[in-house]
Structure 1
Amino acid sequence: MSRKGCEIDYNNFISVKASRRRPALTRELTKRQYSAPKECISLAEGMPNEVTFPFQAINIVMKDGTTLSIQGQQLNSALQYIPTQGYPPLLKKLKEFILQVHNPPNWSDRELIMTNGSQEGISCSLEMIVEEGDSVLVQNPLYAGTEIILKPFKPNLIGIDQDEYGIIPSKLIEALENCKAYTEEGGGRRMPKAIYLNPTGSNPTGVTMSLERRKEVYSICCKYNILILEDDAYYFLHFLEEEPMSFLSMDVEGRVIRFDSMSKVLSSGLRLAWLIGPKQLVHNIELHIQSSMLHSSTLSQVILDNLISAWGFDGLLSHFAYVKRFYQARRDFTVASMEKHLKNLCEWTVPTGGMFVWIKVHGVADVYDMLMSRGLKKNITFVPGHAFMADPTQACQYIRASFSKTNLKQIDKAMQLLGDLIREEHVLLRRKLDGLENNILR
């Protein structure tokens, strides 16, 4: 597919509200300050004087013995305002890292911006794209944080069902054709402009979309002029032999906004994440961040910049590989525990990445009361699948279980108690059914 055959009008993907955003002059001058000649004298920005900051140095000792020392001018920068886009030395390194890992086509047409976790990037992107009442395509089930962002817009969420290889292309085409027919008949809704995907180690299913599926989905989105919001927080936590091919790496048309995060592989509390996408769209997101919080944490960005300088990309990827092995071992233990305690009571697909397993309970049409009432009394907590469905009001027989943090002994105990709970639920349901039958006979 040639990019020359497709010129995307990005204005179609910017809502009326988002199109009204304008750059703050003070923020633009801050950006210029980082690229201005040393002899340039600036009395423009209202920055505090670093002399007044009480910090002399910040020393971070890593588990491998590496020490990151932030002091002097670098400490001044770490404690100061920076351009909204991010800490310039880190941006340079991350762009090199993305080229090494994903090697996206048409690199000069893209831009990168730092965000406080992927959640902020997803939120800003959806708020840029979606008008109230819009139709939005989502994988079903989907990451619950996305539904929370969209809810105030009163959207028409169109859930695309998944199997063990990711969303089903025929279901996506069917949904789009239905939207097209409805729109052409004057139904009052616009065609969807975007699809939200969590393609690697998906939350909550643990599914990693196959390469064949990714290519099919990308082709469909090109045909129907759909933006792909690629939320890949678990990209470095897949359990496959080969690295998954990202949508960004196959994006010849410039229709992917990709969200990356260090939360799962370095620290969730540092809130280190970034998004990359077409320049015009990223610029609009930058204006949103300017107006809401100015920029992401400078100190966190300087820490990552120092870590990459100390470890290099190979060291960073080596750490990611360690984290992946850690979670894969926990995945294996959890699945073995489920085989022991839940066999014949439930079914599941073995996760190919991430931190979760998605469990379908046999013989229970809706697990909500079972988990949130009787389950809590047994001191076990699982998330009812309702929280992840495009339509959370419908009955749901799925459960999300996390194997990331709880110790292995407790995981095994929880699966045993879940098995007991399901058996008890079966008994309660049989008694209820018998009672209804007796009432009918009377």
Structure 2
Amino acid sequence: MDYSYFINTHSSRRRPAITRELTKKHYNAPKGAISLAEGMPNEMTFPFENINVNLKDGSTFSISGPELGASLQYIPTQGYPQLLQKLKEWTLFSHNPPNWDKREVLVTSGSQDGISRSIEMCISEGDAMLVQEPFYAGTEAVLKSFKPKLLAIEQDEYGMIPEVFVRVLENWKVKCDENNALRMPKLLYINPTASNPTGTTMSLERRKEIYSICCKYNILILEDDPYYFLNFSDKLTPSFLALDTEGRVLRFDSFSKVLCPGLRIGWLTGPKQLVQNVELHIQSSYLHSSTLSQVITYNLLNNWGFEKLLDHMSSVREYYKGRRDLTLAAMDEHLTGLCEWTVPDGGMFVWIKVKGISDVYDMLMTRGEKKLITFVPGHCFMSDPAAACNFIRASYSKAAPQQIEQAMKLLAELIREEKDLINKKLENFT
């Protein structure tokens, strides 16, 4: 593949920073090598003696001595070498992507960081961009400044609909033929497992169809998959990375949903040329992701091993599955007849369609506040956030069970009051 096609003019001008490259060499230098090149502070000046971590399972680990010094020091932009190796092993263990030798891994400050920089690497102002509809609001925030033409692909209970995908591409192709200023889209953003906000997991058949379409139209797939291990089904669906025979997937992973978000540990896996370009972007901004967070994560993975990590992920998955079930029970009790919804396949959200109300924004953001309940209006996840929308995203991850039940009861009251308000306006109008 010609990856230069996907890299915009601004990003193509990036070059490695000599000081950052010297830092990389410092970590790989042979024993006995002397360097007066790095502008690193001396570890003797750091005020920290040791860091002790106590885990809920009773296990502990301590960071001290040279490891503590390294955890508080500058590191190569790509990541703390020991953690980087663990993440490569984990990615191989989890996805076993083809042509592994042609791929690279980069530690990012959460997956949002990788998504943002990958979009900024590829998109130019006014470009067309393919997104699933609805799609993660954090991606829309990145795209907004580029003023892109968002080409939205409808989803059903099995994920993005291939026939709609092709129709959207062909319709846009006609417009490009008629207007030389328009270009075919280069990127597809997709959140395939327990997607935010719908909770839908794309089937394997759909993934294969979508991948085939992207190959035909030369589209790069941005696979944002933070809920991959929070899929409530008994069997994990192979990722786009696992299907990627051509090298057109940039995959974004994160420990935010299964360990904790405060560590800000994410990683990007993809073709070497593209990952290295993202690395250059990070070099010019914040140098590298938090070293201390990376060392803590490495020690955790090293102590647990992959099997115990999977056990932990399983317990997290069961926790959220239980919360989903009690949320659905509360919705059955209070929202039946007022709303429609599908059962989330995983993750932390349920996507609710309100019947008989064309737009829920004012209802939620103004009148909902008076009832002391907060939901996210569906507008935040749409390609056209200004259009009327009757969807609501409800999160069941954090509120207490009794609070969830009370919130659904109050939402039902709010919807009924909104319908009464609409009917009164209609009566006054007639």
Shared fold by TM > 0.5? Answer: yes
Cα deviation per residue 1:136-168 (whole Å; 9 max; x = unaligned)?
000111100000001110100111111111111
Equivalent residue runs for 1:209-358 within 5 Å: 209-358=202-351
Pairing 1:4-403 to 2, within 5 Å after superposition: 8-403=1-396
* d(CA) in 2 for partners of 1:159, 1:52: 53
Partners of 2:166 and 2:183 lie apart in 1 by: 16
Structure 2 distance, partners of 1:175, 1:11, is 25
SS at match of 1:347: strand
Runs of 4+ deviating beyond 6 Å: none
- Partner residue, 1:4: none
The separation in 2 between residues aligned to 1:157 and 1:127, in whole angstroms, is 15
Taking structure 2 as the reference length, the TM-score comes to 0.99
Give the residue type in structure 1 aligned to 2:164. K
Q: Deviations over 1:164-215 (max 9, x none)?
A: 1111111110111011111112252100000000111100101011111101
For the residue of structure 2 that corresponds to 1:269, the secondary structure is helix
Task: Tell me which amino acid in the other structure corresponds to 1:176.
Answer: L
Of the three residues 423, 426, 432, the one matched with 2:419 is 426
Give the CA RMSD over aligned residues: 0.6
The one-letter code sitting in structure 1 at the alignment partner of 2:135 is: L
CA distance in 2, matches of 1:107, 1:346: 46
Q: CA deviation at 1:32?
A: 1.0
Aligned residues: 430
AA paired with 1:302? V
CA deviations on 1:41-69 (whole Å, 9 max, x unpaired) are 11111000000001010000000111110
What TM-score do the two structures reach when normalised by structure 1? 0.97
SS in structure 1 of the partner of residue 398 of structure 2: coil
Between the aligned partners of 2:198 and 2:304, the Cα distance in structure 1 is 33
Q: Distance in 2 between matches of 1:165 and 1:411?
A: 27
Which residue of structure 2 aligns with residue 435 of structure 1?
A: 428
Q: Counterpart amino acid of 2:399?
A: T
Q: Aligned equivalents of 2:88 and 2:110: distance in 1?
A: 18
Equivalent position amino acid for 1:32 in 2: K
Percent identity over the alignment? 64
In the aligned structure 2, how far is the partner of 1:287 from the partner of 1:240? 39
Per-residue CA distance 1:62-82 (angstroms, 9 max, x = gap): 001111100011101100000
